[in-house]
């Protein structure tokens, strides 16, 4: 069946496996990326009730989903699983290979070292200044913000056939509006290069609409020509301080980083983020 979860960048197919009596025992979702540069890719989410594992339900759902991926002319299918789990063993036995390991981390805001963060934020970064906005990027920054998204082009994805994501002004606005429409709050901190007033880097934080629980870091990137000036740490420190000040009921900040992205992992560790768990991405080349 077709899942109604349609976005500007993907659509999703869904299947439900049931017993003869109609009791659901498993499901599969296949996200089909539709934008140019990623329209070769599908992402699989397959779940089987523990009591029905090793009964053929998972194999039936996987075979069905892969057939659909081939019909959609997809080049590869990826799936995220817990390392050393039954899910990893299941997919590995069927041709999937590990292409990426992500480490998830959390900063408990109550334990954030506000003095140290303030010192980072107020330390001089000659040639740069920080700006921040809520929601959709201001019109006067829209063009340079869209251009700054190229900072993510070389984000470490290891062997994942992730493709390329093209950004323009309309897409960055659409992304912000999608977050707003689901009731969450998007906050962006950016570093401006004073030589030409262009955005050299940015970091995004999405806060639950009620300001409680945990917020999620989205993208953080610095354009290659502006790296080596400590901008990523500077921007993230400012984002943390803003979150702490504006949302007193917020518990923590969540982030995930490729294990191969040593630079960002060092920054997160220094800012107080504590690893919580890992996930691995598996890929099947069709």
| 50: exposed, middle or buried (Cβ count in 10 Å: 0-12, 13-18, 19+) | exposed
| Per-residue model confidence as pLDDT tens digits over 44-64 | 999 999 988 889 999 999 999
Average pLDDT over residues 119-142: 97
Answer yes or no: is pLDDT of 163 > 90. no
d(CA 69, CA 33): 11
2 has pLDDT over 70: no
90-110 confidence digits (pLDDT tens) = 999 999 999 999 999 999 999
In angstroms, how far is the first alpha carbon of the chain from the final one? Answer: 22
User: Chain-wide mean pLDDT for the chain?
Assistant: 93
pLDDT at residue 217, as a whole number: 97
- Name the pTM for this structure: 0.88
Q: What is the pLDDT of residue 28?
A: 97
- Please state the φ and ψ torsions of residue 75, each to the nearest 5 degrees: -85, -30
H or E segment to which residue 201 belongs:
strand 198-207
- Distance CA(81)–CA(279), nearest Å, equals 6
Residue 4's pLDDT band (boundaries 50, 70, 90)?
A: low
Question: Which residues, in sequence order, are CB contacts of 265 under 8 Å at separation 6+?
Answer: 103, 257, 259
pLDDT at residue number 167: 87
pLDDT over threshold 80, residue 156: no
- 54/170 Cα distance (integer angstroms): 47
The pLDDT of residue 70: 97
Predicted confidence at residue 35, as pLDDT, reads: 86
**Residue 229 DSSP label:** S
- Residues 13-30: what's their mean pLDDT? 94
Q: How confident is the model at residue 224 (pLDDT cuts 50, 70, 90)?
A: very high
């Amino acid at each position: 069946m077709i899942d109604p979860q349609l976005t500007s960048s993907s659509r999703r197919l869904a299947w439900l496996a049931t017993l003869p009596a109609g009791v659901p025992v498993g499901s599969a979702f296949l996200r089909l990326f539709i934008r140019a540069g990623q329209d070769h890719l599908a992402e699989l989410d397959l779940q089987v009730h523990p009591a029905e594992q090793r009964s053929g339900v998972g194999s039936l759902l996987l075979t069905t989903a892969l057939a659909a991926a081939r019909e959609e002319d997809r080049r590869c299918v990826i799936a995220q699983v817990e390392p050393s789990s039954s899910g990893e063993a299941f997919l590995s036995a069927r041709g999937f290979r590990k292409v990426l390991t992500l480490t998830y981390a959390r900063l408990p805001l109550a334990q954030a070292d506000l003095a140290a963060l303030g010192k980072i934020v107020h330390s001089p970064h000659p040639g740069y200044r920080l700006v921040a906005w809520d929601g959709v990027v201001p019109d006067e920054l829209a063009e340079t913000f869209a251009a700054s998204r190229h900072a993510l082009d070389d984000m470490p994805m290891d062997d994942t056939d992730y493709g390329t994501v093209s950004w323009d002004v309309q897409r960055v606005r659409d992304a912000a509006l999608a977050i707003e429409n689901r009731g969450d709050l998007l906050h962006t901190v950016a570093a401006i290069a004073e030589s030409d007033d262009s955005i050299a880097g940015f970091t995004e934080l999405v806060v639950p609409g009620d300001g409680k629980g945990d917020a999620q870091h989205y993208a953080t990137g610095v354009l290659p020509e502006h790296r080596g000036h400590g901008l990523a740490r500077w921007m993230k420190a400012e984002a943390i301080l803003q979150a702490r000040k504006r949302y007193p009921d917020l518990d923590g900040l969540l982030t995930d980083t490729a294990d191969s992205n040593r630079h960002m992992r060092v920054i997160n560790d220094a800012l107080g983020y504590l690893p919580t768990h890992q996930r691995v991405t598996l890929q099947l080349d069709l």
